[in-house]
Structure 1
Amino acid sequence: MKTSGNTILVTGGASGIGRELAERFYAQGNTVIIAGRRQERLDEVAAAHEGIVGYALDIADPDSIDAFAATVVRNHPELNVLVNNAGVMMFEDLTRSRDLSDADATIATNLLGPIRLTNALIDHLTTRPDAAIVNVTSGLAFVPLVSTPTYSATKAAIHSYTVSLRDVLKGKVEVIELAPPAVQTELTPGQSTRAGYMPLNDFMDEVMALFSQQPTPAEILVEKVGFLRFAEAEKRFDETLATLNDFARQAQKSGN
């Protein structure tokens, strides 16, 4: 993926990792489009960076995706990079029967959303030079956090989907996976200051250094996520699963 001269669409671009990606790609000389549910938050980012433009998008709504994609292609025909970043993370109790609305929303946002948006834009992207798709997954795609089972499952599914995309689009569109570790963002309550999570700025410094490599790695993996990414290959999956979830339980008890 080239580092400048792109027109890049970042979903979930008003906060957290999405905003950081948008701002850092913009600083490298790219045109950047951000999308999210709340127009006022998109406008805040755009106001701080002349040249970034924001469009409201409900990534869980198929009709919203189709209308959004048509608008973006019409207004920005140079679009050549899609970053599927928008996502939600919800805690669930699997020990009892429950309302599954949280699970439904997680699947619609984290799994069907990227699939639908990629589908809506793929015919356009395959006509563009230097086209790329970046799917943001998680270290939890490889070792699940059992208190967020649907989130972990959707990220595992997008990892698999990305492998398929990369193979079938070879020679047409570069397909990259960005799998973060636990990062200090607003993804869940209290996460932005949680001890043991990677500071957002440190994470992004490492991510952008990896994006600058030529060729761009198929998987953008900061050093800290290797503990999860390679757990199964290194035959320590069970140990890693226990360590990860023990840490999460202790953090929850302490209110962190």
Structure 2
Amino acid sequence: MDLSNRTVLIVGGTSGIGRELARRFAAAGSTVAVGGRDPRALAELAAAGFGTVRVDVTDSASVTSARDTVLARYPELDTVVTMPGVMLLEDLRDPGHFAAAAQTIDTNLVGTIRVIDAFTPHLVGRGAGTFLTVTSGIAFLPFPPMPTYAASKAAVHAYSEALRAQLDGTGVGVVELVPPAVATAGQEKVNPHALPLDGFATEVMELLAAEPTPREILVKGVLMHRWAERDGTYADLVAQRSRALAMLPGRES
């Protein structure tokens, strides 16, 4: 993928990985707009020279309005990165977890579908473009304290595969970014194994720039997650990760 002279929209890019990808695409010579809900973050990005649009992916009308705004400003839009995501702890012994599950599915999975649906006619009409979906290593190697997060990202993976098949021949590609734990929003304090954001982003951009662009962007730090079943390490790794259930209130193991 040529990372220069693209016109990129990153939905869910007001912080963390998305914000860093916005910076990297812009540094490579692309025009970048960022969509999100946080007005303060959007104002900071606008001051830094990025296009911005407010969008709530759980609200279909908001997604439609954001699409119309973006396409009016950037009719040459050719790359849509969709990475809405919430990560919530859930104790499945407590029926009260359902509210967190519903929020997670509506944001991570249905929100992704809303964004893709909104921009598919535009990209197909151009006859060229790219959707970049964002899943997680947890989609392939679950983290038991966050069951619905894992399920939602596994679903986005499957949806990306189906989208790629359905868009075959239209000129629109589908690339899936699969991050491991990355040191954003204080994660480095919770997970000492989280990858530094700068190194992660550098590796991602190098993989995106490859010709042909890989269908899945897999940095070295996520390979153990992605291929755990193939490598025969899945059961042991899930057992290890299950120790983290102790972080749930009232749980000792």
Question: TM-score with structure 1 length normalisation?
Answer: 0.91
Structure 1 runs (4+) greater than 3 angstroms displaced: 248-253
Deviation by residue 1:166-220 (Cα, 9 ceiling, x = unmatched): 111123211000000011112xxx4143311111111111111111111111100
Q: Note if contact 1:139-1:180 (Cα within 8 Å) is conserved in structure 2.
A: yes
Pairwise CA distance, 1:249: 5.1
Q: Which residue of 1 is the match for residue 214 of structure 2?
A: 217
Q: Which amino acid aligns with 2:52?
A: G
Q: Which residue of 2 is the match for residue 136 of structure 1?
A: 134
1-structure distance, mates of 2:45, 2:121: 29
Q: Which residue of 2 is the match for residue 241 of structure 1?
A: 238
Q: Which residue of 2 is the match for residue 227 of structure 1?
A: 224
DSSP-derived class of the 2:235 partner: helix
Structure 2 unpaired stretches of 5+: none
Q: Which residue of 1 is the match for residue 181 of structure 2?
A: 182
CA RMSD of aligned residues (A): 1.7
Pairwise CA distance, 1:157: 0.1
Question: TM-score with structure 2 length normalisation?
Answer: 0.92
Of 116, 119, 130, the residue aligned with 1:118 is 116
Range with bigger deviation, 225-234 or 92-101: 92-101
Of 180, 199, 202, the residue aligned with 1:205 is 202
2-structure distance, mates of 1:182, 1:249: 17
DSSP-derived class of the 1:216 partner: coil
Q: Which residue of 1 is the match for residue 71 of structure 2?
A: 73
Q: Which residue of 2 is the match for residue 43 of structure 1?
A: 43
> Taking structure 1 as reference, are residues 251 and 145 closer, same or farther at Cα in structure 2, changes over 3 Å only?
same
Q: Note if contact 1:92-1:149 (Cα within 8 Å) is conserved in structure 2.
A: yes
Pairwise CA distance, 1:139: 0.3
Pairwise CA distance, 1:101: 1.7
Deviation by residue 1:205-242 (Cα, 9 ceiling, x = unmatched): 11111111111111000011011100112222111212
Q: Note if contact 1:80-1:129 (Cα within 8 Å) is conserved in structure 2.
A: no
Deviation by residue 1:33-90 (Cα, 9 ceiling, x = unmatched): 1011012211202212x2x111111111111111111221122111110001121100
Q: Which amino acid aligns with 1:243?
A: Q
Percent identity of paired positions between Structure 1 and Structure 2: 43
Structure 1 unpaired stretches of 5+: none
Pairwise CA distance, 1:109: 0.7
1-structure distance, mates of 2:174, 2:198: 24
Q: Which residue of 2 is the match for residue 170 of structure 1?
A: 168
Q: Which amino acid aligns with 1:12?
A: G
Pairwise CA distance, 1:252: 8.2
Q: Which residue of 2 is the match for residue 95 of structure 1?
A: 93
1-structure distance, mates of 2:130, 2:79: 5
DSSP-derived class of the 1:8 partner: strand
Q: Which residue of 1 is the match for residue 9 of structure 2?
A: 9
Pairwise CA distance, 1:5: 1.0
